[in-house]
Amino acid sequence: MTVIAAEIASRKRIALVAHDNKKQDLLEWALYNRDLLAHHELLATGTTGKLLEEAMKTPIVKLQSGPLGGDLQIGAKIAEGLIDFVIFFWDPLEPQPHDPDVKALIRIAVVWNIPVACNRATADFVISSPLMSSAYQRALPDYQGYIDRVRRL
């Protein structure tokens, strides 16, 4: 498979998501990193976005709540090339009614080579990377062969 490059600008488009039991953890993390996050465009699922916007005093594009389609909206934006980084503090110990949506979101992020931080430690490593404040050439698989095969079916 051929690989092509897509530039991620120095101002990243970051999606923020957290399951109910992880919202406080994401909120604390975002407040600690408020100055870094303020340099980027922030999007979030509904409830998480409302909590973050109120606490951080920073504008956040709020999508639907996760169980109402917010995870899928983020996935669609990834497929459209409109998300550069996903921070998703998910709760691996609590069953979620929208687990298929969560799996789809993580899958599409992997398909399009989007960094995903699923816990605080990973989010710390990624946000402190020098790549967060500079442009980055993200390698994208060239899916044209796959598209051509599907069209022939």
Encoded tokens for 8: 């991620």
Please name the helix (run of DSSP H) or strand (run of DSSP E) that holds residue 8, with its range, or none.
Answer: strand 3-8
Tell me the average pLDDT of the chain.
92
pLDDT bucket at 13, cuts 50 / 70 / 90: very high
In the predicted structure, residue 16 carries a pLDDT above the cut 90: yes
Please name the helix (run of DSSP H) or strand (run of DSSP E) that holds residue 137, with its range, or none.
Answer: strand 136-141
Helices (H), 70-143: 70-79, 99-111, 120-127
Region 44-52 average pLDDT: 96
Query: What residue has token string 């490059």?
Result: 5
- Strand locations in 65-117 (E): 85-89, 116-117
- The pairing of strands 13-18 and 41-44 is parallel
- Residue 142 is a catalytic residue: no
pLDDT of residue 107: 95
Which one of the listed residues 71, 99, 142, 148 is annotated catalytic?
A: 71
Q: The whole model's pTM is what?
A: 0.91
Show Cβ contacts of residue 80 under 8 Å, excluding neighbours closer than 6 positions. none
Write the DSSP symbol of residue 40. Answer: S
pLDDT, tens digit (0-9, with 9 covering 90-100), for 74-115: 999 999 999 999 999 988 887 777 788 888 999 999 999 999
Fold of the 3-152 domain: Rossmann fold (3.40.50)
Residue type, 17: V
Indicate if the alpha-carbon torsion angle 95, 125, 72, 114 is positive or negative: negative
In the predicted structure, residue 9 carries a pLDDT above the cut 80: yes
Encoded tokens for 52: 């973050």
pLDDT of residue 25: 97
